[in-house]
Amino acid sequence: MTVLRTALRVEAIAWRRSTVQRLATPLLIALVPVASIGLTTLARSGAVGGAGAAKLADYAAGDPATTHLVAAGQILSVAVLMAGGFAVAATFGQPLADGRAGAYFGLTTPRGTLAFARGLVVLGWAAACVAGAVAVTVGASAAVAATTDAPFGPAAWAAAGRALAAGLLAAGLALPFAAVATATRSPLATVGALIGVVGLTQVVVLVGAGAWFPYAVPSLWTGTGGPDAAADVGGAAVAITAAVAPVGAALVVVQWRRLTDV
Amino acid sequence: MDSALLLDDVHHAFGGHRPDARPALSGMSLAVAPGEVVAMIGLNGAGKTTALRVLTGRLRPTSGTARVLGHDPARLPAGAALRFGHVVGAALVDPALTVTENLRVAAELHGVAHAGAGAAASAVAERLDLVPWAHARARALSLGNAQRLGVACAVVHSPAAFVLDEPTSALDPRGVVLVRELVRERAAAGAAVLVSSHHLDEVARVADRVLAVHGGRVVGSLTPDEAELERRFFDLVLAADTAALPAGSRRSA
């Protein structure tokens, strides 16, 4: 446990100082509520017509607070996957690309433990960003509701809970990209794989298999594909999606233990 | 006396068993005893860095034996890792952290207790004159200061054996003296030190023994205080090349 505690402390310092973290944290925590409330306001303003209005139709009805939080969940389910993917591309891929990973050999803190701690730190950071983004959205939405005499009731709280859960699931889906970063030894290739999986997810959803595809589940669960698609996402699919994170973490730990030619 | 650092008949080819495989080590053998500084000199591509990568566990050789403090460096137990340090290529330095943070992190990763990491970091920062940059980010350091920081991170835990690849290549004359004095001090305290370099006059000042490396193996040994070290090195290289030629194509002396 002492070795893991050391690894966690070291990785937390490194992540706190990293440029990726400094950019992504405010973007996630501030832009998600701004976009959620902004899209809802825009949908109800009547200022958007044509195809844009059709895309925003889901945000034009219902109580505003619930809509804000549904939108927040939908945005988070993609944004956190992308942010987490960039984070593991940087933290796992960059040291292998620039040779710094060679310095992790011959340490009392084993490489597998360092990799595990690195994954946990990124996952913890992503989870904190999700919680922060949902909390700020709840606060901003409650303020909007208070000034417009709109309700902020149980439906809004339920939407907040689902946004939080979907965001956490999406954060876990980023961990397998640490294994991609390790295998390719390239942050850019990892980002390419991330974009590829997001594209593949679109195809899987289009052919109707999204309810069982982990990378589609958070988004569909929050209603991106409509209420029917959300209803198709069952507990088993959510459990499978949640299992991606530990599988990804285990894989990257094994990879870092076996690392050679660095 | 047992060797603290050992390579025995190590062979390695990049590209494995493919026809275009490039041999990098061809029977590399060397040993460094506690309290001894051994320098490897050789031309570019001679196999020095590949040998050091094997010795630090970063590269598993095709055949042969590597030992660090009696253990396989690819699976170094914590007790041995606590007594080992190295800089081969990129150092254990995070560009986003300050000098002090990097030294503390390196100390902890090398097994120094959290409570003692600050003192260890301060001591090595003072020894290598890094105190003026203590709060500077590593990415903001000059090349020479960054190299001294890398060396400091490798020895912050006072290892009993350490390996330095080209440790003075970017240093100014004062930095060269600081690193040389550090190496000699640690050796006097019983550490086994293996360094690689292109600079004959520098290795002559720091090493007890100098090994000439060529074609992926040690082709001869030099004593640092002998006259015309450079000529002796090239004689060894030429002799190795001549010996490697087919018998019919050798010119008589």
Interval A111-166: pLDDT, tens:
999 999 999 999 999 999 999 999 999 999 999 999 988 899 999 999 999 999 99
pLDDT surpasses 80 at B251: no
| Domains: count for chain A | 1
Please list every residue in chain A whose beta carbon sits closer than 8 Å to the beta carbon of residue B105.
Answer: 10, 13-14
pLDDT (0 to 100) of residue B250: 61
The closest CB to that of A108, out of B57, B73, B81, belongs to B81
Inside any domain, residue A31:
yes
Question: pLDDT tens digits for A4-47?
Answer: 999 999 999 999 999 999 999 999 999 999 999 999 999 999 88
Contact flag B96-A9 (C-beta cutoff 8 Å):
no
Nearest residue of B to residue A262 by CA position?
B58
Q: In angstroms, what CA-CA distances link B47 with B53, B137, B201?
A: 10, 33, 20
- What integer best gives the mean pLDDT of chain B? 94
| Residues in A 111-130 with any Cβ partner in B closer than 8 A | 114
Please list every residue in chain A whose beta carbon sits closer than 8 Å to the beta carbon of residue B160.
Answer: none
Find which of B71, B92, B98 to mutate to test the A interface (most A CBs within 10 Å of its CB): B92
- Give the sheet arrangement for strand B5-14, strand by strand: B22-32, B5-14, B63-68
Average pLDDT (A193-212) is 96
Alpha helices in A89-234 (DSSP H): 94-98, 111-148, 154-173, 176-184, 187-206, 217-221, 227-232
Inside any domain, residue A62:
yes
| Residues in A 59-98 with any Cβ partner in B closer than 8 A | 98
Alpha helices in A46-153 (DSSP H): 50-55, 64-88, 94-98, 111-148
Q: Over pLDDT 90: what percentage of chain B?
A: 85
Residue A147: phi, psi to the nearest 5? -80, -20
Average pLDDT (B90-102) is 97
A151 interfaces chain B, CB cutoff of 8 Å: no
Q: Over pLDDT 70: what percentage of chain B?
A: 97
pLDDT (0 to 100) of residue B1: 59
Where along chain B do its domains lie? 1-83+159-253, 88-158
Nearest residue of B to residue A104 by CA position?
B92
The closest CB to that of B90, out of A6, A7, A98, belongs to A98
Inside any domain, residue A262:
no
ipTM for the whole predicted complex goes beyond 0.85: yes
Torsional sign, CA A242, A247, A250, A252: negative
Q: Which CATH superfamily is domain B1-83+159-253 in?
A: P-loop containing nucleotide triphosphate hydrolases (3.40.50.300)
- What integer best gives the mean pLDDT of chain A? 96
**What range does the domain containing A248 cover?**
2-257
DSSP B71: B
